[in-house]
Amino acid sequence: MIHFENVGLRYGMGPEILRDLTFDIPKKSFQFLTGPSGAGKTTLLRLLFLSLQPTRGLIRMFGRDITDIPRTELPLLRRRVGIIFQEFRLLDHLTTYENVALPLRVRGKDESSYKTDVLELLKWVGLGERINVLPPVLSGGEKQRAAIARALIDRPEILLADEPTANVDPPMARRLLNLFLELNRLGTAVVIATHDLTLMDQVDARRMILSEGHLDIHD
C-alpha cells in the first residue's frame, strides 16, 4: 500500500533528519513507530500523510509514485489516509458531533448523507452521549476519541496516530489501544507513533524504530 525506498529528508541546507528509509506499510497491517524524542517520528508521519515531500528517494502510495501526482489530486489521495494529531486539533466552538462531521461538511456534503455515519461512529468510540458537548468540557481521553472518530469519518485505508496515549491515564490508554486493534481487525492499516513501552508490550506487533535518522524494523 505504501512503499519508501532510500527516502531522505532535510529542511533547507541543514543536515538530513531522515536518512535512507526503506520500508513497506502493507494493507491491513498494524505497527508501532517508536524512538527517542526528536528522532523524527512526527516528520515521518507527515511524509506518510503527504504533507511533506522528501528531498530524495522514492515514495509510492497506493501504487503511484508521489512525484507523478498533480497537486490538485493530493487532497483526494489524503482522504485515504486518516491522521490523529497529538494536540487533537478540535475546534472549541463546535460540538463533538460537528467536529467529527467537519471534514464532510467543508466539502459541501448534505448532512442527511452523513448524519447516521457520524452518530454510529461516535457511539463506536464511546461518545454516543457526548455528541452535543463542546471540547473544553471533554476530558483528555474523550478529546482523543473524538479526534479518532474525525480521522475515521472518511473511512481511510490507513490510520496514522501521533502519540495517541500521551495525554491520558493507563486505563484510557488501554481503551484507545483496543479501539485501534478493533479498527485494524475491520481492515484498516494502523501506524501508532509512540514512546510508550507499556503500550507496545501489550501487542505482538511490528516495531519501526527511528534513531538518529535511521529506521530499524523488528517484525
The mean per-residue pLDDT over the stretch 22-28 comes to 96
pLDDT digits (tens, 9 = 90+) for 82-101: 999 888 889 999 999 999 99
**Confidence (pLDDT) at 165:** 87
Extents of the domains making up the chain: 90-155
Q: How many CB atoms lie within 10 A of CB 89?
A: 13
Confidence band, pLDDT 50/70/90 cuts, at residue 166: confident
Which residue has 490538485 as its cell numbers?
Answer: 72
pTM more than 0.85? yes
- Asked whether 186 and 30 are in contact (CB, 8 A), the reply is no
Range with the lowest mean pLDDT among 27-41, 50-64, 74-88? 74-88
Q: Which three cell numbers stand for residue 39?
A: 528522532
Q: From CA 145, how far away is CA 37, in angstroms rounded?
A: 24
pLDDT tens for residues 184-206? 999 999 999 998 888 999 999 99
pLDDT band, very low/low/confident/very high, at 13 (cuts 50, 70, 90)? confident
Residue 172 has pLDDT above 90, yes or no: no
- pLDDT per position as a tens digit, 106-124: 888 999 999 999 999 999 9
Residue that has been written with the C-alpha cell 448534505 in this structure:
110
**Can you give the pLDDT at residue 86?**
83
Instruction: Find residue 58's DSSP bridge partners.
Output: 5
| Residue 3 confidence (pLDDT) above 90 | yes
Q: What is the mean pLDDT of residues 15-37?
A: 94
pLDDT higher at 219 or 120: 120
Tell which phi-psi region holds residue 116, choosing left (phi > 0), alpha (psi between -120 and 50) or beta: alpha
pLDDT of 88 reads 86
Give me the count of residues in the chain: 219
Give the pLDDT of residue 87: 84
